């Protein structure tokens, strides 16, 4: 599994203008079905995505994200081994 950390480096107005494209990116992690959990940080300084798949596939998908391609966010991808999953069904 991978933790994708997006850090916003552009004003929130720019982030908000790119949000729909971020979600709808046909080559991105959402469209490819790689996302297991995602959401913005509080306060809104970035976002976290938990993804599952091959590193190369995740890196390629993240590289097409409009937040990244526009320079509005930087990204860090960290691989980890999930040993517990207590959050299933607890969103909100």
Q: Domain 2-79: give its CATH architecture.
A: 2-Layer Sandwich (3.30)
Q: Which two tokens stand for residue 89?
A: 């069904």
Q: Is 75 exposed, middle or buried (0-12, 13-18, 19+ CB in 10 A)?
A: middle
Q: Which two tokens stand for residue 88?
A: 């299933």
pTM given for the model = 0.87
Q: Given this model, what pLDDT does residue 11 score?
A: 98
18 and 67 Cβ atoms separated by less than 8 Å? yes
Domain-wise residue ranges, the chain? 2-79
Q: Which two tokens stand for residue 33?
A: 């079905």
Q: Is the pLDDT of residue 89 over 70?
A: no
Residue 85: pLDDT band (50, 70, 90) is: confident
Model pLDDT for residues 4-63, shown as the tens digit of each residue: 999 999 999 999 999 999 999 999 999 999 999 999 999 999 999 999 999 999 999 999
Q: Given this model, what pLDDT does residue 88 score?
A: 56
């Amino acid at each position: 599994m991978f933790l994708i950390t997006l850090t916003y480096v552009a004003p929130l107005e720019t982030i908000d203008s790119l949000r729909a494209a971020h979600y709808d990116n046909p080559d991105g992690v959402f469209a490819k079905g790689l996302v297991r959990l995602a959401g913005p940080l509080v306060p809104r300084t970035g976002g976290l995505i938990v993804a599952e798949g091959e590193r190369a596939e995740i890196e390629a998908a993240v590289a097409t994200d409009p937040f990244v391609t526009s320079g509005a966010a930087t990204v860090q991808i960290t691989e980890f081994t999930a040993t517990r999953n207590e959050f299933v069904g607890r969103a909100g």
